[in-house]
Amino acid sequence: MKSALITNQLTRGFQIQRSVVFALFMKEYRAKLAGSRFGLLWSLAEPPAYMLILSFVWLAIGREEILGVPVFLFIALGMLALKLFQSGINTVSSAVRQNLNLLDYPNVKPIDAFYARYMAEVMVLAISGVGLIGGLYWILGYEIAPRDVPLLLVTIILALLNALGLSIFLGVYKTKSESFQRAVTIAAQPLLFISAVFYPLSIIPLEGQYWLSWNPIVQVNELVRVAMFGWTPANTVSLEYLFLCTLVSLFLAYLAYFANRFTLLKK
C-alpha cells in the first residue's frame, strides 16, 4: 500500500514536470520565432558559416583534404560538436536568469528552465546539422556513410548528456554570480582552437595531444571521425574517458543544483 502510494506520487510528479518542461519548451520555441528573425537565422546558419570560413583557410594554403577527408566535411562535423557545447555554456546556462518571473509558479522548478532551453537549442542545432550535412551530400556529392554506426550513436548520446551536465552546472553558478558568468564567457573564447575542430589530433605533437585530449569536445570530435571514416584512434582518445567525463559532468551538475536549488528560487 505504501509503496503503491509512493509510486503514484512519483508518477504524478514526473507528469507535472514533463508538462512544465514542455510548456517552457514551447515558450522558448515561440520566443525564437517571434523574436529576432535574424537571431534565429544566425542560429541555423552559424555552423555552416564557420565551416566555410575555416575551410577556405585550408583551401587558401592548397589543402582540399585533411587525411583523405574533404575539408568541408571534416570541419562541418567538428563545428556541430563545438556548437553543442557552446550553446550549453552560453545560452542554456542562462535559462534560469532569463526566466526568473516564471519561478513564482509552484510547479516550475529552476531545472525545468534548463531542460526546456536545452531541448530548444538541440532542436535548432539538429535542424542546422541536417541541413549542413545534407547540403554537402546533395550539392557537393560527398559520400557520407558511417563506418561504425554504434560508436557514432554512443558518442552522440554521450556528447548530448555531457553538454547537458555542463549547462546545468555552469547555469547554477552563473545564476548566483554575475562575476562567474563573465569569467565563464572569457574562459570559453579559446574553445574553437583547442577542440580539434579544424585539425586532426594526430598532427599535433604527442605532448600537445596529451593536454588537448583532456577536453571532452576533442574526444567527441575524434571519436566521431573514427566512427565516420574508420580512422585508428589516437592513444589519447578513448570512449571510456568520454563516458567518465559524462558521469562526472552529470554528477557535479545535479550535486550543484540540489545544493543550491532554494538559492536559485530567491534570485
- Average pLDDT for the chain: 84
C-alpha cell at 43: 542560429
Specify the long-range contacts of residues 183-191, CB closer than 8 Å, at least 24 apart. Answer: 184/89, 184/93, 185/90, 188/86, 188/89, 188/90, 191/82, 191/85, 191/86, 191/217
pLDDT score of 242: 96
In a domain, 2, yes or no: no
**C-alpha gyration radius of the chain:** 20
264, pLDDT greater than 90: no
Q: State residue 235's pLDDT score.
A: 86
Residue 4 lies in a domain: no
93-97, 98-102, 186-190, 230-234: range with lowest mean pLDDT: 98-102
Q: What is the mean pLDDT of residues 238-257?
A: 96
Assigned domain for 164 exists: yes
Domain membership flag for residue 7: no
Query: Could you tell me the pTM of the whole model?
Result: 0.87
H or E element that contains 176 = helix 149-176
The rounded percent of the chain whose pLDDT value lies above 70 is 84
Asked if residue 3 is part of any domain, the answer here is no
**What are 102-157's pLDDT values in tens digits?**
676 767 788 888 898 898 889 888 888 888 888 888 887 788 889 999 999 999 99
The answer as to whether 40 is a domain residue is yes
More confident residue, 98 or 129: 129
> Is residue 6, in this structure, part of any structural domain at all?
no
Query: Into how many domains does the chain fold?
Result: 1
Asked, for residue 25, whether it belongs to a domain, the answer is yes
191: exposed, middle or buried (Cβ count in 10 Å: 0-12, 13-18, 19+): middle
- Could you list the residue range(s) of the whole structural domain that residue 187 is in? 17-265
Tens of pLDDT, residues 27-80: 776 666 555 556 667 667 777 887 888 888 888 887 888 888 888 889 999 999
Rounded to 5°, angle at Cα 128 from 126 and 131:
105
Report how far residue 107's alpha carbon sits from residue 16's, in angstroms, rounded to the nearest whole number.
7
Question: What are the backbone angles phi and psi of residue 147, rounded to the nearest 5°?
Answer: -85, -25
Question: Higher-confidence residue: 144 or 222?
Answer: 222
Residue 182's pLDDT is what? 84
